[in-house]
Amino acid sequence: MIDPLRIEPGSAPKLVGRDTSAVPEWSIDKSDAERELAERVVQIDLLQNRLFAENARSMLLVLQGTDTAGKDGAIKNTFKQVNPAFLHVTAFKAPSSTELEHDYLWRVHAALPERGRIGIFNRSHYEDVLVPRGRGLLSAGRVAQRYGHINDFERMLTDEGTSVVKVLLHISKEEQRQRLQARVDDPEKRWKMRLADLDDRKLWDDFQSAYEEMIEATSTEHAPWYVVPADRKWLRNVVVAEIVVRALEAMAPTIPPGDDGIAGLVVE
Ligand code: ADP
């Protein structure tokens, strides 16, 4: 079901006109999606336990998307069964003055998961190409140079035992309007909204182009991008969970055998 969402290396995802509410050739209703999510959540817990016991490798899930795309909701639902101690979640904001004193991958490297853990990036180093490109702050040449750094960086991570999976939560402009309006209208949600979010919304088309270019340049064999239709939260959740299950299954973490002589031991 997720194969059509995977962007093959070198191909362009064409976000404009791409369906934001359905997976091609896969129809599912809300109650089936919730049931399938529940199954996958249990699988993720089981596989994460093995990854932790193995203590040799890690996984990194990168989540990108415009404001209100559902990054927090996807994290909360996909990992709801996993022991929080086995996760390493980082939400990247605009860089602080200290972070700006360093190269743009400095804070990213420091936030990577330890062996045995799943790292989750809510926004990531991809903001360092999206924001300059979407807002026109860096030349195309400088941004292209960064795509090269990022591909090399992720290659290094993969070689050193961190599997990298990247997800763009893709919502429509109208869906974002409704979600922003809901934030304005609901006092419980209003804190999530900043007036500056409206500035990026005005640049919607520029950001969509920036996402397309970024994905084309950085979807690789070892660190693929998935473009997930995210207008329906229940569909988004099951798809992200499936991507995580597949990535963990591909890693096939194994439980270590334990101390010599422990198997079959009778404890008195
Ligand atoms: P949320 O992710 O909930 O929207 P905030 O609005 O507080 O959180 O912070 C995210 C903001 O920080 C976004 O506007 C994002 O573009 C910006 N940001 C994150 N990383 C960078 C970066 N490397 N360079 C510039 N802006 C960034």
Task: Give the pLDDT confidence of 11-50 residue by residue, as tens digits.
Answer: 999 999 999 999 998 999 999 999 999 999 999 999 999 9
pLDDT > 70 in the chain, percent: 100
Give the model's pLDDT for residue 33: 97
The domain 3-251 having CATH identifier 3.40.50.300: the answer here is yes
Confirm if 239 and 33 have CB atoms less than 8 A apart: no
Mean pLDDT of 189-215: 96
Half-sphere exposure of 231 (CA within 13 A, CB side): 14
pLDDT band, very low/low/confident/very high, at 1 (cuts 50, 70, 90): confident
Give the model's pLDDT for residue 193: 93
Centroid of ligand 1 to alpha carbon of 97 (angstroms): 14
Mean pLDDT of 136-160: 97
Give the model's pLDDT for residue 212: 97
Mean pLDDT of 141-153: 98
Centroid of ligand 1 to alpha carbon of 93 (angstroms): 4
Quick one: which atom of ligand 1 is closest to the CA of 192? 3
Assess whether the C-beta atom of 131 lies below 6 angstroms from ligand 1: yes
Assess whether the C-beta atom of 194 lies below 6 angstroms from ligand 1: yes
* DSSP-derived secondary structure letter, 59: E
Assigned token pair, 7 = 């962007």
Per-chain mean pLDDT for the chain: 97
Quick one: which atom of ligand 1 is closest to the CA of 128? 23
Centroid of ligand 1 to alpha carbon of 81 (angstroms): 28
CA distance 69 to 92: 15
Is the model's pLDDT at 83 over the cut of 90? Answer: yes
Assigned token pair, 61 = 């899930």
Assess whether the C-beta atom of 67 lies below 6 angstroms from ligand 1: yes
Is the model's pLDDT at 247 over the cut of 90? Answer: yes
Assigned token pair, 252 = 């096939």
Ligand 1 mutation pick, 106, 121, 123, max ligand atoms within 8 A of CB: 123
Is the model's pLDDT at 143 over the cut of 90? Answer: yes
Task: Give the pLDDT confidence of 125-134 residue by residue, as tens digits.
Answer: 999 999 999 9
CA distance 135 to 112: 27
C-alpha pair distances (Å), 114 with each of 58, 101, 102, 106, 246: 7, 25, 22, 16, 21
pTM above 0.95, yes or no: yes
Is the model's pLDDT at 205 over the cut of 90? Answer: yes
Centroid of ligand 1 to alpha carbon of 53 (angstroms): 34
Helices 71-78, 30-54: inter-axial angle, 10-degree rounding = 70
Is the model's pLDDT at 100 over the cut of 90? Answer: yes
* DSSP-derived secondary structure letter, 58: E
Give the model's pLDDT for residue 52: 98
Quick one: which atom of ligand 1 is closest to the CA of 197? 14
